[in-house]
Amino acid sequence: MRLIYLNNIQNSCNQQKKEQVVIKPKWRQKTFGLHSSPGLLYNQPSVLVGRTDVASVTSWSAPIIWEGTFDPILIDSIYKQQNLTIATTVFALGKYTRFVKDFLESAEQHYFVGFRVHYYLFTDQPESVPEVKMAENHSLTVRKVQSFKRWQDISMSRMEQLEKLIENELASEADYIFCLDIDTKFYGRWGVESLGRLVGVIHPWLFDAPRDRFTYERRPESQAYIPADEGDYYYAGAAFGGSLEDVHHLTKTCREKLHIDAANSIEAVWQEESHLNKYFLLNKPSKLLSPEYMWRDINESAAQIKVIRFSNVAKNYAEVRPNP
């Protein structure tokens, strides 16, 4: 396993004041087209046959990815010509380090198989990261970060950490990024069909609910506020992604809104997830992933879910979280 350890804790006492200079990241230049290989054999697509039990496109013409809406042979062939790197971030603090092994081992079986993947694991216990065999062109960087006494603070700190990672390291080194929760496990293919400029994942508990039942932040005082008569979908904070430039703008905006709320002594009902949903309301995702890509439990089923690709794992939240 390729491991890189980075210490992200700085001693502010030794830092000198420097003039602030804003340097815009230089994003990797993409000139990708959807080029198919000559002689490639795959099933003929149809405009008449397809999923009829679910919506496969939003009202703003963004695709919603379900089983049966893409051909893995064709789409893999197209994207393998592009020599992509997919950065993937997870956070494992406190007792959440127990989920690292299953996450990584299952990812190596199902996640962007055959493509270049660089995992970034943020943890306060780098010594507890287990050895996991990485596939060719897959690597893992373990970055040490500070501990928190509240799980809410862990959640809210992620946007700032992701913003800095993209700015300082990834802008010119990766093409796409996905930000995932660690207390999860892969059970099926998660591949290039998920790639897009800005990608949201529909929440597994609210995919069939009306908008007035969405658990948006409902207090007008919060920057995450969404009125009861607004909203498209409820998105999971446990998985989102897209191009480096678009996810950087997302994390920067959410970090700024979180800080404004904090200055006003307000904490959104679901912390970063609330701000993510407000962002996606105003900045529509270019692609949505169905709840197949963030299911609630491998042992639960729904008629619309033909394949469980990625799911939460069962746990006692009171036992693993540092506070109620």
What is the tens place of the pLDDT at every residue in 52-81? 999 999 999 999 999 999 999 999 999 999
Structure-token pair, residue 218:
């409902």
Band the pLDDT of 15: cuts 50, 70, 90. Answer: very low
Hey, what long-range contacts does 265-271 have (CB within 8 A, 24 or more apart)? Answer: 266/219, 266/221, 266/222, 267/152, 267/156, 268/217, 268/222, 268/223, 268/224, 269/215, 269/216, 269/217, 269/218, 270/215, 270/217, 270/237, 271/152, 271/155, 271/156, 271/237
Confidence check: pLDDT of 11 > 50: no
Section 310-322 average pLDDT: 80
Per-residue confidence (pLDDT) for residue 7, from 0 to 100: 54
Enclosing H/E stretch for 140: strand 138-144
Phi first, then psi, for residue 9 (nearest 5°) are: -90, 120
Where is 318: in which H helix or E strand?
helix 317-320
- What average pLDDT does the structure give for the chain? 90
Residue % of the chain over a pLDDT of 70: 87
For the whole model, what pTM was predicted?
0.89
Q: Is the pLDDT of residue 42 over 90?
A: yes
70 three-class SS: coil
Tens-place pLDDT, residues 265-307: 999 999 899 999 999 999 999 999 999 999 999 899 999 999 9
Q: Tell me if 321 sits within 8 A of 151, measured CB to CB.
A: yes
pLDDT band at 25 (very low <50, low <70, confident <90, very high): confident
Question: What is the per-residue pLDDT for 20?
Answer: 53
Average pLDDT of the residues in 244-272:
95
pLDDT band at 317 (very low <50, low <70, confident <90, very high): low
Are 80 and 34 a contacting pair, CB within 8 Å?
A: no
- Which residues belong to the annotated binding site? 96, 181-183, 203, 215, 273
* pLDDT score, position 157: 81
> Which tens digit of pLDDT belongs to each residue from 87-110?
999 999 988 999 999 999 999 999
- Coil, strand or helix: which one is 267? coil
Evaluate if residue 226 carries a pLDDT over 70. yes
186-223: pLDDT as tens digits: 999 999 999 999 999 999 999 999 999 999 999 999 99
Tell me, what's the pLDDT at 273? 95
| Cα 54-59-63 angle, rounded to 5 deg | 60
Write down the pLDDT at residue 150. Answer: 63
- Residue 8 scores a pLDDT above 90: no
Q: Which of 193, 217, 267, 273 is catalytic?
A: 273
Residues belonging to the binding site for UDP-N-acetyl-alpha-D-galactosamine are 96, 181-183
- The pLDDT of residue 320 is 77
156 vs 161, higher pLDDT: 161
273 labelled catalytic: yes
Q: What percent of the chain has pLDDT over 90?
A: 78
